[in-house]
Amino acid sequence: MNDHSDRPKILLTGSTGFIGTHTAHHLVDQGYGLRCLVRKTSDTSRLPRGVELTEGHLLNFDSLRKAVKDCRGVIHVGGVVRVKRVRDFYQINRDGTSNIVNAAREEGVERFVLCRSLAAAGPSSPGSRRRWDDDPQPVTEYGKSKLSGEEMLQKGAGEMWWSIVRPPSVYGPWDIAFLTLVKWVKRGFKFRIGDGKMVISLIHASDLARALTLAIESDQPSGKIWFATDGTDHDLSELTEAIERALDREARWINIPKWVTPAVAWLIEMFAEFRGNAALLSRAKLAELMQPAWTCDDEPFREATGYREKFNLTDGMAQTVEWYLDHRWI
């Protein structure tokens, strides 16, 4: 690794997760000095060689003060998506965010970028993308906890410059959420609930990593809330067709009536609880899947930062599926 000692140092949380991994590699490629917040149990094998590791936890304030010391900026990606108990969402996504914000402010960090989620803003309406200044209407405890984290940043930042990036659904290498869908298509099946007409925004993880970097480099005033996407709205058919093309096979639709899905989600929750795991499909997640649209407007971000996506859905899914195959995930 090249010597980046003269470059600004960034602390990255959530660095060993899906989005964090992509962000870590991009920051290093851009010449930033990178310090990664990790836990004792973290698998750091996916991180770039030579990055600085600091051990800590979002609920351990002293470890966070040590982590942010001498850093010019923080990109906070860390959080939880699935939990066994609802309060765990708020402990990490709200209280953990409050802790890292307060630690950064007290240690004189200049810039703070918070990576949250479209779930914090809530669903949109077909034909009308959600805008940054719309009143947030999250529909799950996950989304509400993410919104609470945003509020902690706004209240606790003080004079520290900050911005928030809310990505929609993210896919790419190392992702396990879309992996399930790809596996089913490979087996010859694709599923839709009801009429399956939900419209969504998407972004490839590499593009999101670039967006987060552009956000922390931005010359815009503090307090901006941005979306970042691949620039196109997609429906379920487009998504599954992209996977089919990547796998070079056709799958057949399995239609799931809406009235069946709550019972299916409940059974998955009970099975996960029995095994001591967080459910992959819960009744709360179902509440998101039943919305007519999850789209957002990223034009303000493009205008402010010059952001442009590198991956459209076809190319991005082809690269992702190829990665799954090369690493024997499918």
Write the single-letter amino acid at 5: S
To 10 degrees, what angle do helices 97-106 and 61-68 make? 50
**CA 42 – CA 59 distance, rounded (Å):** 16
Architecture of 9-171+204-229+295-309 per CATH?
3-Layer(aba) Sandwich (3.40)
18 DSSP 8-state letter? H
User: Residue 127: what pLDDT?
Assistant: 86
Euclidean distance between the first and the last CA atom of the chain, given in angstroms as a whole number: 32
The answer to whether residues 74 and 11 touch, using CB atoms and an 8 Å cutoff, is yes
Residue 212 three-state SS: helix
Q: What is the pLDDT along the chain (330 residues), one digit of tens a residue?
A: 334 445 689 999 999 999 999 999 999 999 999 999 999 999 999 999 989 999 999 999 999 999 999 999 999 999 988 777 889 999 999 999 999 999 999 999 999 999 999 999 999 988 899 999 999 999 999 999 999 999 999 999 999 999 999 999 999 999 998 998 899 899 998 887 767 788 999 999 999 999 999 999 999 999 999 999 999 999 999 999 999 999 999 999 888 776 666 655 555 555 545 555 544 455 666 667 778 899 999 999 999 999 999 999 999 999 999 999 999 999
User: Residue 275: what pLDDT?
Assistant: 56
User: 169-171 and 161-166 as β-strands: parallel, antiparallel, unpaired?
Assistant: unpaired
What b/e string do you get for 234-256 counting C-beta neighbours within 10 Å, with b at 16 or more? bbbebbbbbbbebbeeebeeeee
Q: What is the pTM of this model?
A: 0.91
CA distances from 328 to 87, 179, 220, 287 (A): 35, 12, 43, 32
